[in-house]
Amino acid sequence: MTAKMFRANFEYFVQDDQASFPDAFEIDGGVQVPSDEFVVSRNKQGDPISRYGDDVWDFRNYRLAGDSGSARINFEFAHKDYRNEAKWLTFLLIYFAESSVNYGVSIATIMNYMKSVRRLIGYASSKSRSIEAVLSEKKYLDEFIRTLETKTLLTGFSSLVGHLARIPSDISGYKISSLYSSFLAREKSKALPEDLQHPVIPPRLLSLLIFDLEVFLNEILASIDSLVCFTEKIMHDPLFARCDSKQRQLGVRRREMAPFFYEASSVYGLEELLLKYGVSNIPGLSKFLTRIQHACRIYIHIYTGMRHSECLSLKHNALVIEKIMDRDVYKVFGDTSKFVGQKKRVAWVTSKDAVKAFEIAQKISILICSQCDILQDDAPLFISAVYLGFTGVKIDLNAPLVTQKHANKDQEVFNYFSSDLYVIEDSDFDHLVAIDPFRTWQKEKAFQLGSVWRFTTHQFRRTLAFYVSQSANVSIPALKSQLKHISREMTLYYCNASACISEFDHDEHISHLMREIKPESDAHAYLAVVADRTEPLFGAYGRFVDRNVTERESEGLLLNDRKELVSRFRKGELAYKETPLGACMTTSQCDKKLLRLVSACISCDRAIIKPSKLEQVITRQRIFVDELKSKDDSSIALRTELSELEDLESYQRRIALLRNKGGLACKTTGKH
């Protein structure tokens, strides 16, 4: 048999300057387990980090930028009698598993497979069976599958069996009974309830969070230069800002001591800021910087919709301002490997609102990287503050760079905000139910009335897509204002930017999520109008809804026909767009906009007009007309706007006449 050479799957993802490759594996027939000295990982210089015989394999050098999971495999999870088996299974996945997308298999994917390997080893050990017996005998394999209780474990094991079945048994030593077991795992997975979606954050809570973050970041931005200079002084002067006992340890007499922390902070005008946030010593300063980083990252999540790993992969120079059609467009450039099989350059549009978060994070990044001799352009935007050396944690500067993942709640900016304000209220709970009435929110502890809302980065992504894709769902004026710019930019460039599509072109980019979620978002906005019994609807389509959708039917739409309604929006049979007077249901291009008159909606057969909104428009129009009169009472602009006002007032009088005649059902009582 001709010898064959195999290389580690993850090599496809490794950049030339990131690390040296592990050993290649050569086989010339039969099952050949590597020697204990076989190198499975190396550092940049080519020195071995882990060998096959080691109980810990360290793959951190081979992680993709931004990967937040572990990259070290500790085989001590396996009993000694099964430890070699665990290593061999893992080795097969690393060197022989074939990717379904014609690329290598990343370290993150291999680490996910380890969940199945651990369960398989644990099961075999508990039954005193060999791995070969479990994999080759159908009754054992089926019995093991019945112990897997989650969709993640089932789908993971299905993939694992599929990989092992495609590796020739004369290489692996395992004869898989059949792919039926992989099929069985997938079918059992389908029978389990769907994984719950991340909730859309209720508008009151999201608006409050944005406000709190804005106040905090504006305060930090005003002091960031002083904060950086203060920290640099501490880094370079071993006495500055140290306590009495620390300076005595260094042999300094009392009268020669450098200023202690509070006095030192006053030199830079920081005493009030640090006192406000409880920063009283150098370890506390490190925590403060970490929480500032968290605030910046959360703000970027809110205004881009990127994932946790995507945000952590950002470099110092990620934010770019481009000129497109004589306007500034703010773009964030980074990499993603999620669902695309390889690292891919990708962009997210954002708004000017996010600039302050980038400015603060950049200055902190430069500060920390100066300690590590990292080139500025290569600097991670969210490099860990542990490199400052303020907390006593030892860190290897030759190891892969550590980004600040904020895995510990004590590192989060939320500690500076009043939790009482984020307690879930009736309106918040009603919002959750309205968006997903089929979900049993009452049984989920995290979302009960009186609980403090726990924000996660995945929530920001879905929430942004939901609100941006349908502005009618944003009923709080403050939130409308907060999302105004990002809504415009995302709609313009994700929905209409065919020239830039390569920057947004992968299935899991937020641009795809926006298009996917829009039918659901539009349906929710429409149902909110149908279910609103506080005032009658006018306009041709509004009268149609009033006459044909009774209160009972509206409840039915909410509960029974919602999926069908979303399907009709998805097919383009229905459309919904908020207008100044109410809403528009046209599925075709609007020809009324050409007139640039709000009153054009009055005669449109697809218009929904709400009396309350009509009154608001009339009030604003009267003010505008008065302003024009005060400047020039004979101008063409005045005559045009006065005519617009008269048309709106005339329609308002027609509505009043209809209501006074009693020809319209009262929506609150259902009586004439």
What single string gives the DSSP state of each residue in 356-387?
HHHHHHHHHHHHHHTTTT--GGG-BTTB-GGG
Structure tokens at 261: 């922390």
Tell me how many degrees the CA angle 203-204-210 measures, rounded to the nearest 5.
85
Q: What pLDDT is attached to residue 557?
A: 53
What is residue 669's predicted lDDT score, i.e. its pLDDT? 37
Q: Which residues contact 553 (CB under 8 A, 6 or more apart)?
A: none
Instruction: Give the Cα separation of 222 and 363 in Å (integer).
Output: 13
Return the sign of the alpha-carbon dihedral for residues 555, 475, 436, 447.
negative
Q: What are phi and psi of 329, to 5 degrees?
A: -120, 125
- The per-residue pLDDT for 532 is 72
Answer for the pair 217, 295: CB distance below 8 angstroms, yes or no: yes
Q: How far is CA 480 from CA 175, 404, 410, in A?
A: 60, 31, 31
User: What CA–CA distance (Å, rounded) separates 242 from 137?
Assistant: 67
Residue 65 has what pLDDT? 59
How many C-beta atoms surround the C-beta of residue 116 within 10 A?
23
Tell how far CA 209 is from the center of its chain. Answer: 15
Output DSSP code: residue 316: T
- What is the phi/psi pair of residue 618, to 5°? -65, -40
Q: Do residues 21 and 44 touch, judged by C-beta distance below 8 A?
A: no
Give me the half-sphere count of Cα atoms (radius 13 Å) on the Cβ side of residue 648: 26
Which amino acid, one-letter code, is at 563? K
- Look at residue 499 in the predicted model and tell me its pLDDT: 45
The tokens describing 31, both together, are 């099952």
Distance CA 310, CA 339 (A): 12
Q: Mind giving me the DSSP string for 57-73?
A: EE-GGGPPTT--S--EE
- Residues with Cβ within 8 Å of 519's Cβ and at least 6 positions away in sequence, in order, are 566, 567, 569, 570
pLDDT score of 426: 94
Tokens representing 620 are 């604003």
Task: Please tell me the predicted confidence (pLDDT) of residue 553.
Answer: 53
The pLDDT assigned to 19 comes to 75
DSSP letter string, 203-261: HHHHHHHHHHHHHHHHHHHHHHHHHHHHHHHHHH-SSTT--HHHHHHTT--GGGPPP-H
pLDDT of residue 484: 86
pLDDT at 344: 65
DSSP 453: P
User: Please, which residues have CB within 8 angstroms of residue 531's CB and are 6 or more apart in sequence?
Assistant: 554, 555, 557, 558
- By residue count, the chain amounts to 672
Give per-10-residue mean pLDDT for the chain (672 aa).
79 71 84 90 88 92 68 90 92 82 73 89 91 84 80 80 83 74 63 71 95 97 96 93 90 89 94 95 95 96 90 89 85 67 74 94 91 72 88 70 78 95 94 83 89 93 89 82 86 64 68 85 84 81 76 51 82 87 85 67 87 91 91 88 90 85 47 34
